[in-house]
Amino acid sequence: MKPKLRTPGVSPAARTRAWFATALVTALLGGVGWKAWGVQVADGARLREQAVRQHVHTVEIPAPRGPILDARGRPLAVSADAESVFANPRAVVDLAGTAERLAAALDLDVISLEARLATGKHFAWVARHVSPEQAAAVRALKLPGVEVTREPRRWYPGSTSGGPVIGFSGIDGNGLDGLELALDDLLTGQRARFSALRDARGKTMMADGLVEATPGATVQLTIDRAIQHIADEALAGAVTLNKAKSGTVVVLDVATGGVLAMASHPTYDPNDPAAAVKAQARNRPVTDVFEIGSVMKVFTVAAALDLGLTRADEWWNVEGGRWKVGRKPVIDTHHDQVLTTSGVIKRSSNVGAVKIGLRVGRERLDEALRRYGFGSPTGIELPGEQSGLIRPGKSWREVELVTICYGYGLTVTPIQLAAAMAAVGNGGLYHAPRTVAKVTGPDGKVLFELDDPGKQVMKPETARALLPMLGSVFEKGKEGGTAASVLVPGFKAGGKTGTAHKYDPAIRRYSPDKYLSSFAGLAPIDAPRIAVVVVIDEPSGKDYFGGKVAGPVFGKVTSETLRYLGVPGDPTAFERSPGVPTADDPEPESVPFDSGATPPRSGRPDPGRRAHAATPPPPTLPEMPLEDEVEVVDVPDFAGMSVGRALDTARQRGLDVVVRGSGRCVEQVPAAGRTAAGTVITLRFSDE
């Protein structure tokens, strides 16, 4: 038998090792192939998804919010870059040391910051919208895994002026209050999104298809920044002076219904949103309702005039200021025996207003009030608007009809009242109040422009007849109106005072010492340009009458607004004809609760039959007399005084002054002499 061939020089042990190595390599190659098959085929989709998630991410560039501008194009809210600090916790080398140094630079709590950096994520905010000094300090630390970036932040140049109206946006750019919330969809814009690669530390390396963010639309308001400042300043002064709970001012353009100013106190700075919560501030002209009080007499008379049920010169027997329906009395502070329809407004007669309202009737009065805009929202572009409350007229009891005639038993908002008063000044044409004048897209295309044709809610002749009635409220003397002490320097105005007891749910009756003082008016009264409503809630100083508390705010806001708008003044408006108010001038108007009725008597009795009996003792609530007792003070001549001396002189005499400029006093309004107490004196200095 032929022997088996063997490899020369190779021992059997070497051959065994070779075969073993070949088998091992083959097995290893087989395992690699199996693993490759698993990675590429069996688990390919899952692993590809993980790779994309780890190395490819979507980068978002926030869109700048669109600016909010005032009526003249001045910024009220703008977006600007602010610096923020973020970290990649996985890239942080010394966790405790990094947290300690960052906390010191940014004034943060080190424990909570360390917990945030220990998450193991690729991204975590450290602090957003930091100051430039803080950002520079973080950069100087050169901490691994910590970066400083820029992002848009909202800025409000006006600070507290108009804060509750403008509102504010959150740190991520979403509207949270006011117009910022109501117009959020328009202001937000379109964020830019694109894909990018990042390295093992999470830093972006390459990005393709960079897309620019689309900014939000530009919103131009009807609000004028200067008029808003006038209203804010006057309101804050009145709330402080009268130690009131809160206050509201609304200024409307009579011709368009555009809101020129909307002030609330307390207010807040939108640059510090936390202040809004702390101050319990809100946009009170749309969110707060109140019983309108004696201002309602204007609309009771308007309803009767519109229906042809009375005339401005029709005489009414007002019963010497006390009248009954059944056991329910209606009380006037004044003890007039007879008044014309116009005199009912001038003297604020509850008896006269009730007799006129009874002639109108519950259902027709209800229909008129709703036509004037009460009982339903105005639709203004602001969040939280209330509708007020008026029960259906057909369900009114007689006592409700009586009280509604002079403003109790229904609630309204200040913006509703301002819009209704503006309709009187606009020939009966009602424009729903609006704050947005124009919206322009980022491409310059006009998306919206205010163009409200309005609707006729009262006859033009009715509106014309009401204007001299409202003007007569400012007349002075023994037979003067309830606003005799209110001055509107340089202009003739018309309006109506109101003082109402607040209903106290705790005692289920009207409070004996909580009031709402209000004033609603038009100016100039011969050709109205603006309607102004002032409401002061719970004044707790020495005065609470509408003419004393809200009247000076009306006078200041109206006069300064008309001057700013360039409306020609009336020099005779500075005169105090027929004379300086005395103790015999009109007393407070009455705000009783309910009464009864007898058929109204007309005809022209002898107007000289007015009784001047002593003022009766205050009746039980809520039949309480209110309104404007006139008090006068002596105003010195401030000419040539320095600012310091002028302020000292004013303080010594208990006078309220507004300083314009510095240097020496060159002008004062009103001039030296006797004037009504509470009048705000404007002093202009040489370096204004």
Give the catalytic positions in this structure.
294
Q: Taking each helix axis as running N to C, give the angle between helix 296-306 and helix 362-371, from 0 to 180 degrees, rounded to the nearest 10.
A: 110
Distance CA 557, CA 247 (A): 14
85: which 2 tokens?
């600090």
Would you give the end-to-end CA distance of the chain in angstroms?
A: 133
Distance CA 520, CA 372 (A): 15
Distance CA 283, CA 383 (A): 9
> Alpha-carbon torsion 601, 602, 603, 606, what sign?
positive
Task: Write the CA distances from 154 to 187, 214, 339, 439, 679, integer angstroms.
Answer: 11, 16, 57, 19, 39
CB 675 within 8 A of CB 657: no
CB 500 within 8 A of CB 518: yes
Secondary structure of 193-219 in HEC code, one letter for each residue: EEEEEECCCCCEEEECCCCCCECCCEE
Distance CA 318, CA 340 (A): 10
Burial of residue 511, with CB atoms counted within 10 A of its CB: 0-12 exposed, 13-18 middle, 19 or more buried:
middle
Burial of residue 361, with CB atoms counted within 10 A of its CB: 0-12 exposed, 13-18 middle, 19 or more buried:
middle
The Cβ of residue 535 has, within 10 Å, a number of other Cβ atoms equal to 32
Residue type, 323: W
The Cβ of residue 536 has, within 10 Å, a number of other Cβ atoms equal to 30
CB 520 within 8 A of CB 496: yes
Give the ranges where 393-474 is alpha helix by DSSP (H): 398-404, 414-425, 460-472
Residue type, 156: Y
Distance CA 350, CA 342 (A): 13
Residue type, 356: I
User: Which of 559, 378, 582, 372 lies closest to 477, judged by CA?
Assistant: 582
- Residues in a beta bridge with 281: none
Distance CA 340, CA 347 (A): 10
Q: What is the Rg, in whole angstroms, of the alpha carbon atoms belonging to the chain? A: 37
648: which 2 tokens?
């000292």
- Phi/psi at 500 (nearest 5 deg)? -125, 140
CB 450 within 8 A of CB 434: yes
